[in-house]
A and B are shown apart, each in its own frame.
Chain A
Amino acid sequence: MQESGVLKDSIVLVQLPNTWELAMLYLAIARAGGIISPMPMQWRQRELKYLAKLTNAKHYITVEEFKGFKHIDAGKEFVERVFSIHDIRKMAKSNKKPEDVKIDANDIFTICWTSGTEADPKGCPLSHNNWIYQSGNLVKACKLQDGDRQLCVAPLVNMTAVGVNYIPWILTAGTFVLHHPFYPEMCLKQLVEESINFTILVPAVLNMILKYPGIEKFDLSRIRTITTGSAPPSKWVMEEFKRRWDIDIINIWGQNEGTALVAGPDDVPDLEKRVDHFPNWGRDCGWKSGIRGIETKIVDADGNELNKAGEIGELLYRGPNVIPCYFNRPDLTEKAFINGFFRTGDLFVIKDECYIGFYDRKKDVIIRGGFNISAAEVENVLLEHPKVLEVAAVGMPDEILGERVCVFVVPKGEAPSLEELREFMKGKGVAIYKLPEKLVIVDKIPRNPVGKILKSLLREELKKELNKNV
């Protein structure tokens, strides 16, 4: 890495599937003095171009080709030095001792990416200390043990896999077993054959495991805990995992900005409550997990703090796990923080003195299979289409992925087809997972008096539309 020009604080873009090379590049790049900036495999020219410009990265590590897309060729357009996974293997075989670089625990370790209401991805820099505190909390809340074996099912590119699997692996000196998402049968096989103790799976996969034909033949008893997120798990799922294999299901709310709450067995012992109660770690409730250091507030639209049970407001969060800023975007950072607290953009309902429940997202994002999609990005690209007069993107509920993109379009003359819109976006280099999977043609888009699109009305309309087809 050093010979290829990685110096102290060089940012290295990495786009690899879940492989040992990706896992070790986090440490190797840090050892060389650089900062890894991992990208989801689904990203295309559009995202790469933006990231290369914003980070001024001179290095990009990827595979030749993946699912028909030639990553190396695309990389050469935007980044000076492009390396393949084969180059990395060659580098790993050299026995040269790297030059010593002084690395501080407050140095940035990673810049992962998230999408909000803005069209472009936002870089979330986190330091060694941020990660050690964050995953230290997870280790406590999930009661991970020294030497635990973990299965990493989520793409190793952001908070889910890095915060829940990768850093805890380093903190517990455990075994890190990789799965490239997602092959259900192989995942089950790995859970058994690799004697896994801990993993994170989405609620839909938990359901699938319970209903899997012949599941009684799989010995899952080595698993102690499975964390989940993105949607609340059902009480039935939690009870069945406990009854069949004595597995605790733990619900996590978290964001790439470092904010997180974990409903572990110590802090939320009651299974019934664990479905929709998160410990409000900002309150001094003598948490059995021992977690301290987080400050929280629930506020109404005017910023007034709420305290009564039943009240709903936005969660503000401050703690040793939170990003210092959005990378190279002081404009976005300014909007995202208030008096040192991060505005999570998520609405929570106050359950009681010590617990809060996730209520709704305030931000206009669609979360498909754990990846945030900015509605504005989809809308902005489609507005350029000659047959589109007005457009609004909303999330369409989906059992497996959580949500998929649905667009409402007011046509300019002849109505476009869904395929036409998808082809148009592909032609603009937009990642496949952001493409709409449903199109509803309408006469007008409902707006409030200042012109803001009323997405809640569109979601209602979409529900009616979907029920009609059943």
Chain B
Amino acid sequence: MILHSEDVIREYTEKGYWGVKTLLDYFYENVEKNSDREALVDPQIKKSLSD
């Protein structure tokens, strides 16, 4: 779903503020390059939150 107008997309892409990579691309790159790193830690009171 693209909601920004074509003009805005053209302007910010030409100026270099917007690119073609999605957040998923960034995430997969991280998984690839830094597979040894800890990614996510659950809260210490997890059980009381979701069980």
- B43 contacts which chain A residues (CB < 8 A)? 17-19, 178-180
CB-nearest residue of chain B to A18: B43
Bound state CA distance, A427 and B17, in angstroms? 48
Bound state CA distance, A23 and B42, in angstroms? 10
Residues in B1-49 with C-beta less than 8 Å from chain A:
1-5, 8-9, 12, 15, 17-24, 26-27, 29-30, 33-34, 37-46, 49
Contact A21–B3 (Cβ < 8 Å)? no
Bound state CA distance, A23 and B46, in angstroms? 13
A342 at the interface (CB under 8 A from B): no
Q: Given A104-B2, A131-B23: A147 and B18 within 8 A (CB)?
A: no
Contact B42–A20 (Cβ < 8 Å)? yes
Partner of B21, one of A105, A127, A179: A105
Interface SS of chain B: helix, strand, loop or mixed? loop
Report A122-138 CB contacts with B as 1/0, cut-off 8 Å: 00010111011100000
Residues in A7-28 with C-beta less than 8 Å from chain B:
9, 16-21, 23-24, 27
Interface size on A, residues (CB 8 A): 53
Contact B45–A186 (Cβ < 8 Å)? yes
Contact B41–A107 (Cβ < 8 Å)? no
Contact A293–B17 (Cβ < 8 Å)? yes
A275 at the interface (CB under 8 A from B): no
Report A85-115 CB contacts with B as 1/0, cut-off 8 Å: 1000000000000000001111111000000
- A129 contacts which chain B residues (CB < 8 A)? 12, 17-19
A241 at the interface (CB under 8 A from B): no
Contact B41–A109 (Cβ < 8 Å)? no
Q: State the Cβ distance, B49 to closest chain A Cβ, in Å.
A: 4
Bound state CA distance, A30 and B26, in angstroms? 13
- A17 contacts which chain B residues (CB < 8 A)? 43, 49-50
Q: State the Cβ distance, A58 to closest chain B Cβ, in Å.
A: 15
- B49 contacts which chain A residues (CB < 8 A)? 17-19, 63, 66, 180
Bound state CA distance, A170 and B24, in angstroms? 9
- Report the number of A-B residue pairs with Cβ-Cβ less than 8 Å: 122
Contact A176–B18 (Cβ < 8 Å)? no
- Most chain A beta carbons < 10 A, residue from B5, B20, B23, B39: B23
Contact A106–B9 (Cβ < 8 Å)? yes
Q: State the Cβ distance, A323 to closest chain B Cβ, in Å.
A: 8
Contact A177–B41 (Cβ < 8 Å)? yes
Interface SS of chain A: helix, strand, loop or mixed? mixed
- A183 contacts which chain B residues (CB < 8 A)? 45
Bound state CA distance, A24 and B20, in angstroms? 22
- Most chain B beta carbons < 10 A, residue from A30, A178, A292: A178
A175 at the interface (CB under 8 A from B): yes
Q: State the Cβ distance, A9 to closest chain B Cβ, in Å.
A: 4
Contact B2–A107 (Cβ < 8 Å)? yes
Bound state CA distance, A176 and B2, in angstroms? 29
- Other than the given A128-B23, A132-B23, A175-B39, 18 more pairs (CB < 8 A) read A20-B40, A21-B50, A103-B24, A106-B9, A107-B1, A125-B3, A128-B22, A129-B18, A131-B23, A132-B18, A132-B21, A173-B33, A173-B34, A176-B41, A178-B41, A180-B43, A180-B49, A320-B18
What are 23 pairs between A and B in contact, CB < 8 Å? A17-B43, A20-B40, A106-B18, A107-B2, A109-B22, A125-B3, A127-B3, A127-B4, A129-B18, A129-B19, A132-B21, A133-B12, A173-B29, A173-B37, A175-B38, A179-B43, A179-B44, A180-B45, A180-B49, A186-B44, A189-B44, A320-B17, A324-B8
| Chain A interface residues (CB < 8 Å from chain B) | 9, 16-21, 23-24, 27, 30-31, 35, 63, 66, 85, 103-109, 125, 127-129, 131-133, 147, 167, 170-171, 173-180, 183, 186, 189-190, 194, 292-293, 320, 324-325, 340
